[in-house]
Amino acid sequence: MKHFVSMKHLTAEELLQLVQLATDIQAQGVSGYREQLFAANLFFEPSTRTKMSFTVAERKLGLEVLDFAAEASSVTKGETVYDTAKTLQSIGASVLVIRHPEEHTAAMLTEKLDIPVINAGDGKGEHPTQCLLDLMTIYQEYGRFKDLKIVIAGDIRHSRVARSNAMALRNLGAQVFAAGKPEWMDESIGIPVLDMDEAVEQCDVMMLLRIQFERHETKREAAGYLENYGLTVEREKRMQRHAIIMHPAPVNRGIEIDDSLVEAPRSRIFRQMENGVAARMAVILTLLEGWGIKHGYNLDKRE
């Protein structure tokens, strides 16, 4: 058989041979068969960093990546998120990564699937792997969290990063504050608000957020934002000598941060991205272990 294009090309005998072979493979595996693990990356919202670093993390751990593009999938025919995820589990995914515009989507799947689910961002809800790589970046800088003064500045109301980070950092003993345009503050996150000019002088970490225009009900309006609420060169000069700048990216250069500061010596923005791979490897490995799923990573390699 050279191709497999139409049933009209197959005899009954060929069909039965295929059915038997498939049944045998399912029951016994094939000679020299080494169990493969598959990771399904379901992104229903655009992503560069999270999707690509999950891909690198999965490949480094020896997993095969099932790449999924919602716009090219049966979602366009009306298939639900649950049916899509259940399909990926059914065809062999051992771990499922999902980004979705609706809050609680990943949580809903954890109640219905029998494989680990990783939230890669759910609407305005949470972005826990971004949070982990942020924690890693801060820890590399200071070696602790306790009593660090961390200011999360910007569009907090629409930010899943702010929600995850405020929770985790407070849990770790940091002092967490918000700063930015008053209408974008969010009392439900439960962190005190500082004026941006006060914040730059006091913080150990200035964690800027992107203005999430796509989640705004009103039209894109950024005029005067940098001068009034963003990190200008003048404000950066007033930061403490040791303080660092972070941003989950993508960055709106010249809106929440002056273009020249994105790669300033105190910026850790690209370090955060670098840390994203190891942080996601740690999450996947921990989940596979937790489910008792054998994986290809040699734990003995750890120092």
Determine if 69 is a binding residue for ligand CP (CB under 6 A).
no
The verdict on whether residue 249 carries a ligand-binding annotation is: yes
Q: Report the site for ligand CP in 119-138 (rule: CB under 6 A).
A: 121, 130
String of contacts with ligand CP for each residue 246-275, x by CB under 6 A: --xxx-------------------------
Is 101 marked within a binding site?
Answer: no
Closest CA to 60 of 72, 52, 68: 52
CA pair distance 35, 172, nearest whole angstrom = 39
Cis peptide before 250 (omega within 30 of 0): yes
Element (H, E) at 177: strand 175-179
Region near ligand CP per CB under 6 A, out of 23-31, 77-85, 201-209, 242-250: 242-250
Residue 220, marked binder: no
Choice between 109 and 246, CB closer to ligand CP: 246
- Asked if residue 175 binds ligand CP (CB under 6 A), the reply is no
Crossing angle of helices 128-142/269-290, nearest 10°? 120
Q: Which of residues 47-66 bind ligand CP (CB under 6 A)?
A: 47-51
User: For 48, what's the count of Cα atoms within 13 Å in the CB-facing half-sphere?
Assistant: 6
Give the nearest distance from C-beta 133 to ligand CP in angstroms: 9
Phi, psi of 101 (to 5 degrees): -70, -15
Q: Tell me the C-alpha to C-alpha distance, in Å, between residue 49 and each of 53, 57, 144, 197.
A: 6, 12, 26, 30
Q: Which is nearer to ligand CP, 49 or 170 (CB)?
A: 49
Closest CA to 232 of 272, 200, 265: 200
Q: Which stretch binds ligand CP (CB under 6 A): 44-52, 173-181, 190-198, 236-244?
A: 44-52
Please tell me the total number of residues recorded for the chain in this structure: 303
Per CB under 6 A, 212 contacts ligand CP:
no
- Burial of 76: CB neighbours in 10 Å, binned 0-12, 13-18, 19+: exposed
Helix, strand, or coil (residue 57): helix
* Residue 127 labelled as part of a binding site: yes
Q: Considering the complex, state which of residue 51 and residue 124 has its C-beta at the smaller distance from ligand CP.
A: 51
Total residues interacting with ligand CP, rule: CB under 6 A? 10
Under the criterion CB under 6 A, does residue 296 sit at the interface with ligand CP? no
Q: Which is nearer to ligand CP, 117 or 194 (CB)?
A: 117
Residues interacting with ligand CP, by CB under 6 A?
47-51, 121, 130, 248-250
User: Which amino acids are annotated as binding site for L-aspartate, given as ranges?
Assistant: 77, 160, 210
Q: Summarize the annotated binding site for carbamoyl phosphate as residue ranges.
A: 49-50, 99, 127, 130, 249-250
